Structure 1
């Protein structure tokens, strides 16, 4: 299972990063999940945009094939433990990244992101960076 970070989906919407486009278009959509916080980040971008109506439709269509993972009790426990641990070490990460990482840990998923710097601080978290690579 893969949890998709918002930066991957934003690249998809903008037609950037051909490797991410290929992976999302050719893989079984069932293996990709979207944490509710990622959906919230995308919707925030919509609300702040110059064309919310059109952009909301684009985001809704993009998210249609993906299951949204709720921030449930398992995620909450991982969140609390992770945040306490990292803050205790003085190496915190972004508020939303804590939630994404906690969901990935709770569901045993790999985080797909272009922002590995934050997630690399999380011990034991599986991460993939889908960067631009030559396609066959």
Structure 2
């Protein structure tokens, strides 16, 4: 039974792949939303850890918060625009405006607390 439950959990978590944004669709996708953008790189081990935490957060996050990703190697202009110099970096956007950048790995509970505070959802 444990094996079935574990397989189920892994399959559910894999469904939560986050949409990658580009310079072409960035503004449109975050417009009128509470969005958390994960600026990452495929070669970055801490980014992979944060991705796992974001997948766990996806399950408990407020309904009106969306998560997107930006690969800094492919979207260098976006990384420069939002002054991303360290990875992983999460940038919180409300209605298309950057509110706060948090660098490093956060637990799902920390992500929930910071999203409620930054988006004023308390």
TM-score by length of structure 1 reads 0.26
Larger helix proportion of the pair: 1
